[in-house]
Amino acid sequence: MQHRLATGRLHPRGRGVYAVGRPDVPRNGQLMAAVLSCGPNAVVSHESAAELWGVRPQRGGGVDVTVPPHIRRRRPGIRLHRHLLAPDDRTERERIPVTAIHRTLVDLASVIDRRALEAAVNEADKLGLTDPESLRAALGRYAGNHGVADLRQVLDRQTFALTDSELERRFLPIARRAGLPLPRTGERVNGFKVDFYWPELGLVVETDGLRYHRTPAAQARDRRRDQAHSAAGLTPLRFTHAQVRYEPRYVEATLAAIARRLR
């Protein structure tokens, strides 16, 4: 062992854990090394688990690991969380022991803000890992855990809708302030996938991102979409990134006025 360490064939990555051949390892290798150094019942958890599931961006740095309550020793570069996990809360991803997706989202809710949590839930749904209804149903078994109340609030049926982008998540609170009910999101209407749809009002709203619709061809497609909705008797409405982000009062007033007319 000492000879391999001295000659650079082995490189310490934690207690009893070594990288072979080179000291630098990819992120998944760092996650696995952290788990192995914490013992047989350890799992990647919290933000590191969300990163491994793909519902949060990779951030590098320290690794979150959940261990049984009796494990007390701290380890450099590892944020230890002590909890006795149920068997259903443990799984593997990329062969790395990790908290199951519902447990991951509950733990995540205790360490990030609401907007970031909404984004993570949206991403989990988009990746087919879970959906809001399944997540709501699972929360009962986590009663008393930190993060459950925050996650339940995010999933409130009156305020939560699945969205594809940060721009769309900014738009939803504006629509609520304008007095609009919760819209359907990501549905196909008249052959086109739309951002927001209120069938009871006959209203379709699209939100255009920063790099969206820069070419004449893309602008022509937008006109065809809007014309198809108008021909079907709907009211199509489109807001730009700048309007949603920097002119929310204007967007709110416009939505409120159109909603009054359509009602």
Residue 215 confidence class, pLDDT cut points 50, 70, 90:
low
User: In this model, does residue 18 exceed pLDDT 50?
Assistant: no
User: In this model, does residue 139 exceed pLDDT 70?
Assistant: yes
Q: Measure Cα distances from 150 to 107, 113, 183, 205, 206 in Å.
A: 10, 9, 22, 29, 29
What's the mean pLDDT in 139-154? 91
CA dist 109 and 124 (Å) reads 14
What does the pLDDT read at residue 10? 42
Looking at the chain, the whole-number percentage of residues with pLDDT higher than 90 is 59
User: In this model, does residue 2 exceed pLDDT 50?
Assistant: no
State the amino acid at position 204 in one-letter form: V
Residue 4 confidence class, pLDDT cut points 50, 70, 90:
very low
Q: State pTM to two decimals.
A: 0.72
What does the pLDDT read at residue 25? 63
Beta 43-44 vs 63-67: how paired, if at all?
A: antiparallel
Beta 10-14 vs 17-20: how paired, if at all?
A: antiparallel
What's the mean pLDDT in 52-66? 91
Which of 25-29, 67-71, 167-171, 236-240 bottoms out in mean pLDDT, i.e. has the lowest? 25-29
Residues of the chain with CATH 3.40.960.10: 166-262
Residue 39 confidence class, pLDDT cut points 50, 70, 90:
confident
Q: How many residues does the chain have?
A: 263
What's the mean pLDDT in 105-109? 97
Q: For the domain bounded by 2-154, which CATH number is listed?
A: 3.30.460
Q: Which residues contact 180 (CB under 8 A, 6 or more apart)?
A: 198, 201, 255, 259
| Gyration radius from the chain CA atoms | 24
Tokens standing for residue 157: 């049926």
Q: How many CA atoms lie within 13 A of 165 on its CB side?
A: 17
User: In this model, does residue 67 exceed pLDDT 90?
Assistant: yes
- In CATH, which superfamily holds the domain spanning 166-262? VSR Endonuclease (3.40.960.10)
